[in-house]
Amino acid sequence: MSLDKKYPKEIKQLLAKYPPEHKRSAVMPLLYLAQREEGYVNKEAMQDIARILDITETEVASIVGFYSLYHDKKAGKYRMQVCTDLPCALRGADEFLNNLCENLGIKVGETTEDGLVTLESVMCLAACDRAPMFQTQGPDGIKYHEYMTVDRTMELIDALKKAEKEGKE
Amino acid sequence: MSHVLLRHRDIPDLNTLSVYKKNGGFAAFKKAVSKMQPNEVTDVVKNSGLRGRGGAGFPTGMKWSFIDNKNWPHYVVANADESEPGTFKDREIMESNPFQFLEGLAIASYAVGATVAYIYLRGEFWQVAAFLDEKIAEMEEAGFLGDNLFGTEYSLKIFTHLGAGAYICGEETALLESLEGKRGQPRVRPPFPPSYGLYGKPTIINNVETFTNVPMILANGADWYKSMGTADSSGVKIFSLSGRVRKPGNYELPFGTTFRQLIYEYGMGVQDGRPVKAIMPAGASSSLIVVDDKVLDTPMDYATVRTLGADLGSASVIVLDDTVDIDWVVNKTIHFFKHESCGKCTPCREGNYWMRNLTERIHSGAGSQGDVDLLLNVAKQMQGKCLCALGEFSTMAVVTGIERFPQDFKKAVKA
Ligand SMILES: Cc1cc2nc3c(=O)[nH]c(=O)nc-3n(C[C@H](O)[C@H](O)[C@H](O)COP(=O)(O)O)c2cc1C
Ligand code: SF4
Ligand code: FES
């Protein structure tokens, strides 16, 4: 189903934020909408957005390529993005990420076998006083997890797993 | 002393409309719209000495007075991109004292004749944006936003807009490009936004913290505001303190507070009681300051920090103790800037690529003194040649790191 058929109400609301002659401004919110279900923007969605906003598909693709929170490939259902930037690294973020890798048995950039979690290392998230921290990017948007330990992170992943199982049953 | 900006720390539930109203909320906006001419509002802000809190410290009232009144409509945009490593103050304001920020944004819009304002938030502030959307809806409901405000001709709408993970979108012209639905790459300036901004229309862009000062200035007067801080930098500032301190966090203090007070009185000193080796006062974009007793006793305002060979910038103070190797720090900052360079101009794009290769090699122990010399040379070659300040920022820690901490680099290439 095309994006405008699936989310007519949301799209109308988003377009209302900008002057009609500048509806191109809605490209970023529309990309978030397109990414909602599968965690990445597929080709059809890019075509839909280009059509809705009267811009070319290449222009839409170049926006996807420019910004790090848009993805054009499928990954784990949740991207777990650990901040390892300077202030967090001064408070143990690198060790935290290494330990997490060991516990999950994956490297940075890889996805757990069940397809649930992709582990990533990212730049400052404006939570430098609460390191170690990460955000999860998933179907329900972006959430912050602060003052984290490996144990608490494993608990979070278990909870996600459980929710996933229950959702499927 | 009670807070001017982080007032939620003194007043519980300040992020609810009723509590905010009970504590004087929206009286300043009402007074501006119903009793003052727009230029009178701008004059109060001018007289207060308020300077922009986004990094450059530009006088806010003066910026507002630059708005081009021959070209309409006008826009006001709040810069809530907050992506400088070490900065986390705007987030606390928006989460805990949102109405004061929104009221400041509304007052600014009235002062420059804008009927639409946008808040550009970094994409990671997804939850913050949803929260602000609720608060904006409450303001509409209560008659503080919408048509014919306070029974006057003036109307105003505020919208949030989420970025998607790009530090460069904090640069004001890149932000505008992004808000227009394009890649966030800086524009060639001039023209500056007050004459050519969003959709080519006159636009005022200020930082979240800058706006948050405005209702208090209007309520209490310019002289009250000027009675805090220093002659160079009036008022209060939120210092985001991070790194090797015992108690990192946001501290709202008058300009002129010393580094020592911030680190030892508020931050409770350095972890494990170690000495401070270096300070980065403006996040990853900082010059590295070599710390001694004199430096610790330096008052923090824009002019005085400059005498230490650094800029105060966004006042994101990163503390490094004597266990931290500066070659490691520089490797971290260059990792950041290489990732965030938008690629529009060659010196920054290529320069950061080469600097990254060199810092990585030096830090891994595989480098030579020749690599360190080359790194310094690449950074110096970039200076003054980049289209926007990001390119310049990327060289700061490299140049000051190598020049002020040569022993760390000697050790790294010997090891
Ligand atoms: C690379 C770069 C990143 C910036 N990031 C931010 C930011 O995250 N937030 C901000 O308010 N200003 C940022 N600025 C400064 C803005 O360009 C602009 O000067 C500021 O928003 C103006 O507001 P002010 O006058 O209230 O400080 C950045 C500038 C550069 C060059
Ligand atoms: S200096 Fe860097 S970030 Fe700025 S325009 Fe040039 S490439 Fe882009
Ligand atoms: S460095 Fe990690 S949140 Fe700022």
**Which domains, ranges and CATH numbers included, belong to chain B?**
7-226 (3.40.50.11540), 236-321 (3.10.20.600), 326-414 (1.20.1440.230)
Neighbour tally for B30: CB within 10 Å? 15
Domain with CATH 1.10.10.1590 in chain A: 3-66
Contact B240, B86 (CB under 8 A): yes
Please work out whether the CB of residue B340 comes within 6 Å of at least one atom of ligand 1: no
CA A11 – CA A65 distance, rounded (Å): 22
Indicate whether this complex's ipTM tops 0.90: yes
Q: Does A8 touch chain B (CB under 8 A)?
A: no
Task: Identify which ligand lies nearest to the alpha carbon of B186.
Answer: 2
pLDDT in tens, A20-60: 999 999 999 999 999 998 899 999 999 999 999 999 999 99
Contact B42, B84 (CB under 8 A): no
For the cut 80, the answer to whether the pLDDT of residue B277 exceeds it is yes
Please work out whether the CB of residue B173 comes within 6 Å of at least one atom of ligand 1: no
For the cut 90, the answer to whether the pLDDT of residue B290 exceeds it is yes
List Cβ neighbours of B246 (8 Å cut-off, separation of 6 or more): B267, B268, B269, B270, B271
Per-residue model confidence (pLDDT) at position B279: 98
Fold classification of A3-66 is Arc Repressor Mutant, subunit A (1.10.10)
Nearest protein CA to atom 8 of ligand 2, as residue: B342
Q: Which residues of B touch A128 (CB under 8 A)?
A: 85-88, 240, 242, 248
Ligand 1 atom closest to residue B388's alpha carbon, by position in its atom list: 31
pLDDT in tens, B45-86: 999 999 999 999 999 999 999 999 999 999 999 999 999 999
Q: Residue with structure tokens 């409901």?
A: B141
- Homologous superfamily, domain A78-168: Glutaredoxin (3.40.30.10)
Shortest CB distance from B88 goes to which of A31, A86, A128?
A128
pLDDT in tens, B113-171: 999 999 999 999 999 999 999 999 999 999 999 999 999 999 999 999 999 999 999 99
Contact B196, B204 (CB under 8 A): no
Residues 98-127 of A with CB under 8 A from B: 123-127
For the cut 80, the answer to whether the pLDDT of residue A64 exceeds it is yes
Domain with CATH 3.40.30.10 in chain A: 78-168
Q: What angle do CA B172, B177, B180 make, to 5 degrees?
A: 125
CA B405 – CA B415 distance, rounded (Å): 16
Shortest CB distance from B164 goes to which of A69, A87, A124?
A69
Nearest Cα to Cα of residue A122 among A75, A65, A80, A71: A80
Average pLDDT, chain B: 97
Share of chain B above pLDDT 70, in %: 100
pLDDT in tens, B367-388: 999 999 999 999 999 999 999 9
Q: Which residues of A touch B123 (CB under 8 A)?
A: 67, 69, 142
Confidence of residue A164 (pLDDT cuts 50, 70, 90): confident
Token digits of residue A123:
């730049």
Confidence of residue A169 (pLDDT cuts 50, 70, 90): low
* Contact call for B164 and A70, based on CB within 8 A: yes
CA of B55 to the centre of ligand 1 (A): 6
Nearest Cα to Cα of residue B255 among B51, B66, B22: B51
Q: Which residues of A touch B183 (CB under 8 A)?
A: 62-63, 66
Average pLDDT, chain A: 95
What is the arrangement of strands in the sheet containing B114-121, beginning at the earlier edge strand? B157-162, B114-121, B74-80, B203-207
Token digits of residue B73:
């409509």
Per-residue model confidence (pLDDT) at position B415: 65
Contact B166, B35 (CB under 8 A): no
Confidence of residue B196 (pLDDT cuts 50, 70, 90): very high
* Contact call for B124 and A91, based on CB within 8 A: no
